[in-house]
Structure formats: C-alpha cells, structure tokens
Amino acid sequence: MGKGTRGRGKKVRSPHPVLGSEVIEVPLAAIDLNDSEFMFRAELNVYELAESIARHGLQIPLVLRRKAGGKLQVVSGFRRLAALRQLGWVTCAAVVRDDLKSRADAARASVLENEARQTYSPLDRAHAIARMRKMKMSTEEIA
C-alpha cells in the first residue's frame, strides 16, 4: 500500500480483510486535516510509528467518511495520518465508509477499530468516553 517513500504508489483497489470495503489511495489534500472530532487518544505519539511506516510502508489503511462539502473526515487513523504528514507523504491508503451517517456511528467505528487492534491505553479509553460525552452521546451510544 503506497510503497513509495512519499506515498505515491499506484492505486490500491482491494477489499479490506476486516471492513470488507475497498481500499483506495486518497490524497491527503482531500482530508479535512483540522477535523479531530473522532480523535479519542489522549496523545498522538508518532515517532516510532513514523519510523515503522518509513521502513515498511503503511500497513493499516485510514478509515474515513464523507463530510458535507466534499472533504473527507478521519474516523480512525489519526496517529497514522500524523506520521504520514511527518514523513511528507501526499497520499494514503484508506477505506471510505459511506455507511457511517451519524456521529454516533462514526464514533463507535473509531473506538471499535482501535480496540480491535488493541492500541488504546486505559487513559485513551477514558479520554474517548469524555470526548463522546462532550458530543452529547448517551451512555447506550457510548457502550
């Protein structure tokens, strides 16, 4: 996926093994880089991740959804995106989830994707719950 050192690999079109959605190459310019609505981590430590991506490429695509106005919103992959930007990449492999219509659906998908990869610390989980509370999500939606 985007094996070039700057993310300029050929188009990727394959089903994601878990999401079942198509993985495509997305220009970073198409992503709203200022939108951190679903960034539930307490900190984005990207140094080691950037080193890994530089060495081995991006192994897990970002998860995005469409926003009104055409830009894409990051649902999951803020650390990966920060690492790619640090490395100077201009594109990334991503899955665009058109099924995430509501904020609650997108928030749930964000947490589930990170939980499935077991990348959340207890502090990240607490931060995620606090952010979802600020989004006025109910206890049932958060659970």
DSSP assignment string, 56-104: H---S-EEEEE-TTS-EEEEE-HHHHHHHHHHT-SEEEEEE-TT--SHH
Instruction: For the chain, state the CA radius of gyration.
Output: 15
pLDDT digit string (tens) for the chain, length 143 residues? 443 334 444 445 555 544 557 899 999 999 999 998 888 766 678 898 899 999 999 988 999 999 888 899 999 999 999 999 999 999 999 999 988 988 888 888 887 776 665 565 666 667 667 777 777 778 777 66
- pTM given for the model: 0.71
pLDDT of residue 126: 73
Question: Tell me, what's the pLDDT at 111?
Answer: 74
The helix/strand/coil state of 14 is strand
pLDDT at 91: 96
pLDDT value of position 19: 54
